Amino acid sequence: MTPSQMHLPDWQEMDAAPEQGTRLCSLDAINASGAKGIDFENGDKRFSLFLVMAKDSKPRAYVNRCPHAGTPLEIFPDRFLTRGRDAIVCASHGARFRIEDGLCTSGPCAGKHLTKIPIETIGSNAYIARAQNSRGSK
């Protein structure tokens, strides 16, 4: 099975995934570079996600995993965006994804999506959305 044929489980089924209601970061941490990577660990298991600020000034969160190769998107911390901050880019293969919905618009995984994580903002912080707030989120 090639990496692009792998089944991507629901993010909550992934090892070391954070629980609903977990505080992720302040919105200022996202605005500083346009994106912010966050790792969670549970023993030897690791879960990586990133937040990115969309043009509508609302943050989006995605699993930090390329749908083509299953590798992290960034090589350097918090470097998930193109220079113009208009798209998410995979540092390994150059695939580009829309910030608003994670759709791959070019590269080896064109037409596929990043795995979106529903989030909510409370005050100036981003959190994993609680169940009642995550219905219908993509």
The DSSP code sequence of 70-111 is -S-S-SSTT--B-TTSSSEE-TTT--EE-TTT-BEEESTTTT
pLDDT (0 to 100) of residue 3? 45
Structural domain containing residue 87: 9-133
Structural domain count, the chain: 1
A 10 A CB-CB count for 97 gives 28
**Element holding 37 (H helix, E strand):** strand 35-42
Mean pLDDT of 103-117: 96
> Within a domain: residue 114?
yes
Q: Which pTM value belongs to this model?
A: 0.86
With beta carbons less than 8 A apart as the criterion, state whether 3 and 15 touch.
no
> Within a domain: residue 4?
no
Q: What is the CATH number of the domain that holds 65?
A: 2.102.10.10
Please state, in angstroms and rounded to a whole number, the distance separating the CA atoms of residues 49 and 73. Answer: 10
pLDDT (0 to 100) of residue 2? 45
